[in-house]
Structure formats: structure tokens, C-alpha cells
Amino acid sequence: MTPPTGTEIAVLSQGRAAVYEEPLGPAGVRVRERPKTEPVPGAVAIAIRAASINHLDLFMAHGAQRVAPPRVIGADGAGVVHASGDPAWQPGDEVVVYPVVCCWECEWCRAGQNVRCARFGVVGEHSDGTACELFHIDARNVFRKPKSLSWSEAAAFPLTFLTAWRMLTTRGRLRAGEKVLVVGAGAGVAVAAVRIARHLGARVFATSRSDMKRRRATEIGAEAAFDSTEFSKAVREKTGDGVDIVFEHVGPATLNESMRSVASGGRVVICGSTSGVKAEIMMPRLFWGQMDLLGSTMGNVGEFKAVLDAIDHGLKPVVDRVYPLSDVEAALARLDAAEQFGKVVLSIEE
């Protein structure tokens, strides 16, 4: 018999928790009470102070992720260690969670390529999530909370900053001085991209359908922001030959305009397709433009550490609004109405 690989520590969400129960949209997520237990060896139990929600939670609540309920939502969490089954952490330590589920033991995980793990998943989708009072996870997913951030800010960055960091650096090979276009600038991941690209010394441009979001994008670091419909003309007028990188998460509704906005030899990096799953593209633009079309999702633990280091050097998330856990339905509804700029956070009352 082959020995089991890895410890396969179960992720557990306990105490009061926001549970996806029925595919009804925001109304299908309800606050329930679950029994609390002590952590198993190798795991850490975190008293969550703040969790944040993502489009992923909303897709799940609408029944679009093929996740069988019940499931506690939330990939992002920050809190205080309540009890530890690992000597690396002590009760009272202030921590954040690397929001990836992986085995930690396979060749890919050992090589630091967590995104390639056969067991790779997202906390709150492939396991229960952080929107709860007491959250148990493998100690290798736990990192010290950046001192410069409030609890809400600490819960606002993990998934979106990890995703945007990998897209811009590892996949997009961004260099200081390059031009980056971020489409759909209100979404959490896009706001993260604006902040990260600026932090890394890029010139940043943004698009949004909303006046308010275009204004906010320029306030947090974009040089100019354009309306989302047919933005490539405006981008080319502003930049001369187009941008070096387009940051894409919208998909079919913007992809061709994104490809028109990129300069020769540029990169379009894609982490999502919120406007639909099928897109038709103009092939000549791809090969004639020497273009790289790059897919990316989440990030490795090394990329998470790089984000933490950048935060220690001044990088900051943007919190849109904070709701108590009991108002999780209203928090999801804000995302559903696309009213947010930055992250919607759930505060877990003590």
C-alpha cells in the first residue's frame, strides 16, 4: 500500500458563519452557528476579525460554480490565533490567510508552484471559507498580518492582490516605466492591479462604465480613465502606440478592445471572464501584433510573500465598505449591483 501523501488538514469554519445554502443569489447566504473544536496537529484556529467577499462568492451564491451547498463563503480572512497545533504560531498572534487550498506535499507544492498542484483550489470554494468566527487551516497557509494595515484592510488584500501580483509580475513580466491598462476598474482585482502597477513604477490607465469609478481610479493612481465602450481609440490617442500590458478580467465584453489597445509585442493577461465564458477574437491582431495572450489564476505562496513584502513597502488595498457578518446578504447585494470600488469587507464582531 502506498503511504498517504501529505497531512491533508481539513479547512473548518466554525462558530457563527455565512453559509451558502441555496442558489438564490445574496438571499441564499445565511448566518448559521456551528460547533467549535480545537485545531488538529499542524493546523491553526484563527479567531477571524474581518473577512472580505469576492465575485467568486457571488457566483457561488447564484449557483454558477457547481459547488454543492452548504458552504461557508469567503477566501480572505484576517484575525488572531485562538489556538495552534503548530509551534510556529501562538495564541494572540495577528495573522492573515494565504487563500489557496493545496496538498503542500506534491512535487509542485514542494517546488513552490502551488497553482500547479492537482489539489489546487480556492478557500471558500473548494473548502469552507473565512466568513466565520473561528477558522481552522494548515499552518503553512498562515502569515503574519502586515502591521501597517487595519483589520479590514488586512482582509481586503489576499485573493485580489495575490491574483493581480502574479498576473502583472510572473505572467505579464511588468517592468518599471511600462504602460498598463486595467479594464473594469471597480472590481477588487482591478483596483489591486492599479495599486500594484503604480507601486512597481508603471504608468497606469483604466476603464470603467461608471463616472464615479473612473474618478476613483485616477485618485488611486491611474493617469487617465476611459469609458468601457470602445476605449482602444482613447487609449491609443493618450499613449501613442498603445499599452504594454492589458489587465483583463471582464472577457467577451472587452477582450477585442483590450487586444486593440496593446502595443506591438504587448501582453494581455486574463484572470477572469465575468461577462461570459466564450469570446470571439480577431486572430490577425494576435499574430500580427506579436501579442502574448496569457491566462492566470490566483498565485503561489512565494507570490503571496512578495505581496506581503510590497505592503511593508507602502502598497495598500482599497476598502469599499464594511458590513457586520449579520448583514452578509446586503454585502453580497452591493457586489451584485456592481456598486463597489475596491473590497467589500465583513467584520466579525467579538
Q: Which residues lie near Zn ion (CB under 5 A)?
A: 102-103, 106, 109, 117
Nearest CB to Zn ion, comparing residues 117 and 139? 117
Measured between its terminal Cα atoms, the distance across the chain in Å is 47
* Contacts with 87 (C-beta within 8 Å, 6 or more apart), sequence order: none
Backbone angles phi, psi at 62, to 5 degrees: -85, 0
Nearest CB to Zn ion, comparing residues 103 and 335? 103
**Minimum distance, C-beta of residue 346 to Zn ion, in the bound complex (Å):** 29
Tell me how far apart the alpha carbons of residues 255 and 258 are, in angstroms, rounded to a whole number: 5
Half-sphere exposure (Cβ direction) of 150: Cα atoms closer than 13 Å: 8
* Contacts with 145 (C-beta within 8 Å, 6 or more apart), sequence order: 78, 94, 95, 96, 154
Nearest CB to Zn ion, comparing residues 100 and 206? 100
Contact 201, 177 (CB under 8 A): yes
**Minimum distance, C-beta of residue 2 to Zn ion, in the bound complex (Å):** 16
Tell me how far apart the alpha carbons of residues 111 and 133 are, in angstroms, rounded to a whole number: 33
**Minimum distance, C-beta of residue 302 to Zn ion, in the bound complex (Å):** 14
**Minimum distance, C-beta of residue 113 to Zn ion, in the bound complex (Å):** 9
Nearest CB to Zn ion, comparing residues 8 and 38? 8
**Minimum distance, C-beta of residue 142 to Zn ion, in the bound complex (Å):** 17
Query: Using CB atoms, what's the residue nearest to Zn ion?
Result: 117
**Minimum distance, C-beta of residue 304 to Zn ion, in the bound complex (Å):** 15
Nearest CB to Zn ion, comparing residues 118 and 337? 118
Helices (DSSP H) in 33-144: which residue ranges? 55-61, 107-110
Nearest CB to Zn ion, comparing residues 117 and 335? 117
